[in-house]
Structures are given as C-alpha cells and as structure tokens.
Amino acid sequence: MSLNEERNNPVNLGALYQDIILDHQKDPRHFGKLEEPDMQAEGFNPMCGDRVSVQVKLDDDHKMVVGQAFSGEGCSICMASASMMTEELEGASVEHTLAQIKNFREVMQGLKPETSLDGDLEALVGVKKFPVRIKCALLPWTTLKSAIDECPVIKQYKEQSKKDQDK
C-alpha cells in the first residue's frame, strides 16, 4: 500500500481514546507531589509542550516503592499513561519497575507483542496506530527512568554491587 493509500483510510478515533484512557485523564491517580521523594525527574516534549514530573518514595533499603506521584500538564494520552504508570508502581521493586519501563517502551515501539501489556495499560496499545502520539505515551515512563537513573542512592547501590561482582 502506498503512503497515500494508507493515509486515505478513515481513522478510528475510538481505538485511541478508549474509555479507560479518558477515565484516567479525567480522574488521574496519584496526581500531586510527595513531600520528601527519593527520586524525581521532569520530562518535557518540546514538540507539543507536554510536561510531566514524577516523584517516588522508597523504603529504607531503597528497593521497594512506598509512594509515588506525578504532576504536570499534557495531552490525554500523556496524562493517562502517567496515571496508569503510577498505579503500576504501587508496591513494586525498583528492579521490577525498570523491567516494566523497558517492556512498555518495547511494546510501544513495536519490538514486543501488544499482549505483553496487561491491566489498564492494555488500552494504550491503540496509541501505536498514531505514530506521532507514541512519544506522548512514553514521556512519563522515560521520565521515571531518568528519575531512577539519577537517584544518588540507587547510583551508589549499583556501583557497590558492580564492585562486589568485580571482586
């Protein structure tokens, strides 16, 4: 199919704006700020002006998530994706979260089957049909990834375990 023919077909907006997505957009979970987060980062999409900030609180061992919040301003896809992400974070380990971020990114980029997503997140696979919107869905997750990567305690922890391995 030529580019023109493909683009000439009508678009199914319902695939993008599923009820679950609109529900998260209207009633975002964990929207706000934490008082003393262990990890935080801000993500920005200069093309559309989406801005998301993600905060996470960890337990004393810095292994498990005990609190999470997001704030910012963006389109429904970005906000719904952030809201769903914070639900996934609930009680998760940092390690599991990193794996989930990778999984979500790979599904959105078409590297993994859509069935690799479950729960509310499944609703976001419709975004794949709208290539310019994939970035919107990914922004909260890449922001969370940089929050984890930039977290001093996690960095220290990683370096230590690398040293232990080298020994």
Partner 1 sequence: MSMAKKEVSSRMKSLEVEKIRDDFPILKRKVNGRALAYLDNAASMQKPQVVLNQIQEFYSQHYSNVHRSGHTLSVEATDLYEAVRPKVKNFIGAGSNEEIIFTKGTTEAINLVAHSWARQQLKEGDRIVISRMEHHANFVPWQVLAKELKLQVDIAELDEDFRLNLDDYKKLLARGPKLVALSMMSNVLGGINPVKELTDLAHEAGAVILLDGAQFVIHQQTKLEQLGQPDFLVFSSHKIGGPSGTGVLNASKKRLGEMSPYQYGGDMILEVRDDRITFNEPPHMFEAGTPNMAGVVGMGAAIDYLESIGFEKIEAIESELTQKAMEALVSLDALELVGPKSLDSRGPVFSFVIKGIHPHDLGTILDSHGVAARAGHHCAQPLHFKQKLPASTRASFCFYNTEEEIDQLVVAIQEARKFFR
Question: Residues in the site for partner 1, rule: CB under 8 A?
Answer: 4, 7-11, 13, 16-17, 22, 47-51, 73-78, 130, 132-133, 136
Least Å distance between CB 133 and partner 1? 6
The least CB distance from residue 143 to partner 1, in Å, is: 16
Q: How far is the CB of 132 from partner 1 (least distance, A)?
A: 8
The pair of structure tokens assigned to 44 is 């920005």
67 or 72, CB closer to partner 1? 72
- By C-beta, is 42 or 59 nearer to partner 1? 42
Nearer to partner 1, 130 or 157 (CB): 130
Instruction: CB nearer to partner 1: give 41 or 77.
Output: 77
- Nearer of residues 78 and 124 to partner 1, judged by Cβ: 78
State which amino acid sits at residue 138: L
Chain position carrying tokens 């993994």: 112
Collapse the DSSP code of 35 into the 3-class scheme (helix H, G, I; strand E, B; otherwise coil) and give the result. coil
H, E, C per residue of 99-127: HHHHHHHHHHCCCCCHHHCCHHHHHHHHH
| CA dihedral of residues 80, 125, 48, 68 (deg, nearest 10) | 30
Q: How far is the CB of 61 from partner 1 (least distance, A)?
A: 38
- What are 69's two structure tokens? 């919040």
- Give the Å distances, CA to CA, from 147 to 3, 38, 68, 128: 39, 9, 12, 25
Minimum separation from the CB atom of position 13 to partner 1 (A): 5
